[in-house]
Structure formats: structure tokens, C-alpha cells
A and B are shown apart, each in its own frame.
Chain A
Amino acid sequence: MSRIKLFNEKALELIKKEMVRWENEILKDKGGDEDYFTESGIPIKLLYTPVDISELDYLQDIGFSGDEPYVRGVYPNMYRGRLFTVRQLAGFGGPEDCNKRIKFLLDHGATGVNIVFDLPTIRGYNSSDPEAEGNVGQCGVAIDSLEDMEALFDGVPVDEISVSLVTHLPSVSVALLAMYVVMAEKRGIPLEKLAGTTQNDFLMETTIGSAPEILPPRHSFRFQCDVVEYAARNLPRWNSISYNGYNLREAGTNAVQEVAIAIANAIATAEELVRRGLPVDSFARRMSFFWDLCNDFFEEIAKCRASRRVFYKVMKERFKAQNPRSLLMRFHVQTAGITLTKVEPLNNIARSAIQALAAILGGAQSLHVDSFDEAYSAPTEEAALVSLRTQQILQTETNIVNTVDPLAGSYYVEYLTNEMEKRIFEYIEEIERRGGIVAVTESGWLHREISNYAYEQQKAIETGKKKIVGVNYMRSEQQEPEIEVFRYPETEQKQKAKLEALMKKRDNAKVKECLEVVREKLKTQENIMPYVIEAVKVNATLGEIEEVFRQEFGLWQFPLT
């Protein structure tokens, strides 16, 4: 297709000529361009003009909202049609404690919830496991069995709200999604009605999570694909995977790497599912993404816009997707925990609000705003409410949701969008040159990339090259502030007691039988989900199911020194 450029040659020539004059006569030596870079290292010029985006073809490169190439947003009327989901994290204690927080958030206007799990659950251990000591119900809710899943959502209308299960590891996604499905079935809710997300990203198991107990990348990747396949066949409204750029970024990547690694994983997933015989249009529309929005305001907005164009091109050109919904990249945003400070914690409200603004200008589908006390503990109710209110203020008082992609056409934002796209594609190519996302995980290359970035960033903070208000710039003289800290309710003993009771009342022979079937099926190429669902129905626990996985596949040494 021939390109019709947005600016004509004559105008561009004139601008170039005038710019020379401006530089020599007006700007003179006041520019100092060499010192300015975005967070991912793109040089920032003092001033952008049409010359910087002279190749742009409006209809081909930008277009309209809800239309190819989806740079301006995935829905035609964007937030007028549906506001981004106000989705705050909830998760601590036992399921009964967490159920109260879910209801608190819904009562105050949240329209979806993100359930975070405690570390033993995330890593596939029962609360009674010795390895779980000290972590039960901390930083997330403890879920051991179907009964816990039922208690977690007791009285919560799971057929009306969307529920994100932040399951991290694919192996745990398998078990927890199975529990969620059985919980809904027992309540008589048709599976077609279940809307939500499982995180289910194998990089969470192998790259961002770590030793001592993780499954090898290939097996973790298989489970990831099993969940995607199962959902494509059974759960039409379920986002079977949320490619987790967020945690990559928090662990140590820049914005370009964050998006490129996540899309490289999406490419690998799509290839595997096509190999399994599924048409791309049966699953691509239910792939979702999860971005971390840090402080570089325009780069983050450009990242959101560019990532949509990259995904569109990948799905259209590489996978030949036909259904328009396969071409849309929908994403959730969480503001950046890594940017929050322990000193002067109230400053974090400003940081988070600015990041949330970038998410909306970037066209996010749902948003979690971090709480100001993040460097101290899980959020108190008060801090969680400030986050919720931040979202509501942005939605209702600022008018920014009423027009689509308002920064389109900005010379800088369009330039950055192009530059991000180019660099994202280059990084994806590098990953593929090294054998693809599974191979770069196995070789430890990805871990080194992350570790190097985290190290360089910390060094930049230590030397003062990267400035953080109150920390190494305008250093706070404030004494440690009085801050109310969230205290987790006692959970370990309660969960242990419930587990003990469960083991007594369930049919243990049946549990064993079901787990043996799971074990046998692991040796085949078959999708594991239906067999795990059967095990969950007879009250096999999370830890028991995961133990079968661990026994069959062994553990993998995290290649990081």
C-alpha cells in the first residue's frame, strides 16, 4: 500500500530551514540536548516538530479508535462506552478475612477485584507445609482447597463483576482456576458468565519468581498453554492469560523490554496453540496484558500506544488473525510500586496519581492505583480508599475520559510512539534470534538482562544521576513518619485446622485416585485442566496437586548469581 504522508514536502522543507534559523539566532547554545534521555534510553530533544514524524501516514499508522491499527484505543467510543475498570487489589489473611475486604471495595464503587494470594498459595504449598511458615495469609489470601475458594467469594456476585485471580504461576493457575470453575458450577452459574483473568504467565514462575522450588520453563510453559486452551474452549469471557510486563518491570527492565518480553511470550503461546490445532481467532481475543506505568510520563503513554500497534501487526501479519477482536491489545495497568518511597509516604499519592493519569491517556482497560503505604506494609483500609478515590476523581472530575487519545498528533508523543515500536520489535527479534522466550529463560539470558538493569538503576540512584525526591534529592529531614501499618489477621493456625478437618471428612481414596490420573496425564500431551478439575471436586488440596507436578517434572535451578 502506498503511503500518504501527513505533511507535504514543501512544508517540511520550510520547517527544516526555519529550524536552522531558530537554532542559530534564537535558541543559540541554550539547548544542551546531549544530557536528556527517557527511562528506556531514547534521547529527548528540546523540541519536536513535524520533521520528527515526517513519514507518518495518518490512516495507516494512527487511524481511529476501535479500528486498525488500534493505536488510539481498542474500542470506538473508549471510556464513553465503558470506563476503565476500577480494579483494586485485595488479598490477605484467610478467605473469610479477604471476603470482607472484597465486599468493602465493591461497596465503595470498585467494579472488579484483583485477588492476590499469599506466597505459599502462589508457590503451590498448603498452609500446613513447613515451607509456608511465617507467610500464611501475608501479602495475600491463603487458599488451600475448594472450600476456601467458596468462602472467598461467598456472597460476591461472580456472575456480575470481573474477577482477576493473580495466580502468577501457570501450575497454580491450573489449580486455582479449576477451583474457581467448580465453585461457580456449584452455585449454578453458567461458565459462559464468568468474566475475569488468570495471570498465568510462565515468566512469573521461572524468571520473576525464583528458587528454591519452581518448575522447569518448558513444563511451566505447557501449563500456561493448557489454561489458555481450556479457557478458549470453555470460558468465552475469561482472559486466560495476563502477560505480565508489570513484574518484569518491577524486577528490572525498562519500558521497551517490558513490552517486548511480554509480546514475545504471546507469540510463543500463539505458536503453541496453533500447533495444538486451535485457530488463532479462538484464543487471541482473550489474551490480555499487564503494564507497569512508571514516572516517565510521555514515554509510558507512548508505550501504551506503541504496544497496541505492535500486537496488531504481530496478530495480523504473522498469525493472519481475521477476527478484529484478535487484533486488539487490551491491558490492565498498575501504578509502579518500585517508584514509591518510604520517606514522606504521602508523596506517593502524587506519584501514583500521575501514573494513573498516564494510564488513562494511554487507553488502559483497567487500573489499580498503588497505595501510599506500600513501602511499609500491605495497604491499610484508609490507604486503599485513597487509591480508589484517586481513580474516581480521575474518572469524574477531570473530563479526561471524554475524548479519545487526546495526545495523538503531538509531535513528541507520535515520535516516541514510533521509536518505542521500533525498539520493541528489535528486542523481540533479539529474543527470537536467541531461540525464543522459553530458550532465553532456560539459558538465563533473561535473568541477566533483568539483573543488569536493576543494578544499573540502583547505581544511578546511588550516584545521584537518577533523582528521587526526598531520597537523594531534596533529602527529607523528616523523622520516620507516624504511619498506621496494616496488620495481618492470624491465619496459619486457622488454615491448618481447616485442612485437618477437610482431610478427615473427604473421601481420601477418591482423592488419591484423581491425583494418580493427573500424574498419568502429565506424561501425555493432553490438556491437564479437566483432570485437575475432577481432583478439585473431591477436595484435593492445592498443595497436593502441585506436589504431583513437582514430583513429575522436578525442580529447576534459577540461573541467577
Chain B
Amino acid sequence: MDRKIKVVIAKLGLDIHWRGAVAVSRLLRDEGMEVVYLGNQFPEAIVNAAVQEGADVVGLSTLGGNHLTVGPKVVRLLKEKGLEQILVVMGGVIPPDDIPLLKKAGIAEVFGPETPIKDIADFIRKQVGSRIAS
């Protein structure tokens, strides 16, 4: 039997805008995923939580401008632990020019404001769904 996709969602660093992250957490649950919302955390703690929870996906939310410095750090730390299979996605207010830089750094996708939850859920299912079913 298929297990649920497990997503860990965190506000990245000091950013205080939690509305989007909480709404997305609850909506992904409605989409049938298991979601752990960490609140605000720094990269080390996010990665530790991802390990502990056995996460398939790490979702990072930031509207605070720290995406370029702190976001890639999460990817790097996962890699150091040999966990590059964990999908890292990001949401928030991200200037368009920064998106290619984030992708280059290993963030699989960046979801801006107004992204329908279906798009986020479909993307996640497509990326990790087959792995879970197998």
C-alpha cells in the first residue's frame, strides 16, 4: 500500500510572515500528504527535522529576503548527509531574477504568491510520487 508523502515545512530563519506557510501546510494535508510544520528554523534544525521525520520534501517559506543565502544552505547540508533525494522547494516573495540562481543551487522549484495548491501538490507528486509507490 502506498504511504503518504511526507513534507516538512519551515519558515526560513527570522522571517515572520507565517500566513502562507501555515495555509500551504494545511492545504497540502487536504491533498493527502503528511505535513509537519516546524515554524521558524535555521538550516541545521530544518535538516535535522527532515532526517528525524523521514521527509520526502522540505518546503521553505521566506518573504524576508534571505532566500539566496539561507535557502541553498539547506540543500548543501542535506547533501552532506547524503540526503540529496529529499526534494527542496521554496515559496514566498522571491524576485524573478533570483529563481534561476536558486534552481542552480538545488532548489527544485520556487512557488510565488498566487500559486494554486494543486500546482504545488502536483509538482511534489510528480517528483517524489513514483519513488514512494515503488
Residue numbers of A with Cβ under 8 A of B are 119-120, 122-123, 125, 131-135, 138-139, 168, 208-212, 250-252, 338, 341-343, 374-378, 450-451, 454-455, 457-459, 462, 468, 471-472, 480, 483, 485, 488, 558, 560-561
Contacts and interface: CB of A to CB of B under 8 A. Distances in A.
A210 B11 contact: yes
A341 B113 CA distance: 7
Contact of B18 (A341, A488, A560): A560
Interface in B43-96: 45, 63-70, 93, 95-96
B16 A119 contact: yes
A471 B19 contact: no
A250 B117 CA distance: 19
B106 interface: no
Contacts of B16: 119, 122-123, 168, 208-210
Contacts of B13: 119, 131, 133-135
Contacts of A251: 17-19
25 contacts: A119-B15, A119-B16, A122-B16, A125-B14, A131-B14, A131-B42, A134-B70, A135-B64, A168-B16, A210-B40, A212-B45, A251-B17, A252-B23, A341-B114, A342-B113, A342-B114, A378-B65, A454-B22, A455-B22, A459-B30, A462-B116, A462-B117, A480-B96, A560-B37, A560-B39
A458 B117 contact: yes
Interface of B: 11, 13-19, 22-23, 26-27, 30, 37, 39-42, 45, 63-70, 93, 95-97, 112-114, 116-118
7 A-B pairs closest in CB distance: A138-B65, A134-B69, A134-B66, A211-B39, A119-B14, A458-B23, A485-B95
B113 A212 contact: no
- Residue picked from A132, A210, A480, A560, most chain B C-beta under 10 Å: A210
B14 A252 contact: no
B39 A133 contact: no
Contact of B39 (A250, A455, A462, A558): A558
B14 A135 contact: yes
- Residue picked from B15, B97, B118, most chain A C-beta under 10 Å: B15
B22 A488 contact: no
B93 A376 contact: yes
Given A133-B69, A134-B68, A212 B19 contact: no
Given A250-B19, A342-B113, A485-B96, 4 more contacts: A131-B42, A134-B69, A376-B96, A462-B118
Nearest to A376: B95
A470 to B, nearest CB: 9
Contacts of B93: 374-377
B55 to A, nearest CB: 16
A133 B26 contact: no
A374 B63 CA distance: 11
A70 to B, nearest CB: 32
Contacts of B45: 212
Contacts of A168: 16
A341 B117 CA distance: 16
A135 B65 contact: yes
Contacts of B67: 134
B27 A459 contact: yes
B16 to A, nearest CB: 5
A238 to B, nearest CB: 25
A457 B16 CA distance: 19
A485 B39 contact: no
B62 to A, nearest CB: 9
Contacts of B112: 342, 375
Contacts of A468: 114
A377 B95 contact: yes
A231 to B, nearest CB: 25
Contacts of A122: 14, 16
Given A210-B16, A210-B39, A451 B22 contact: yes
Given A123-B14, A133-B69, A455 B27 contact: yes
A183 B75 CA distance: 44
A488 B69 contact: no
Nearest to A138: B65
Contacts of B113: 341-342, 375
A132 B70 CA distance: 10
Contacts of B39: 210-212, 558, 560
B98 to A, nearest CB: 9
B41 A212 contact: yes
A525 B41 CA distance: 33
A461 to B, nearest CB: 8
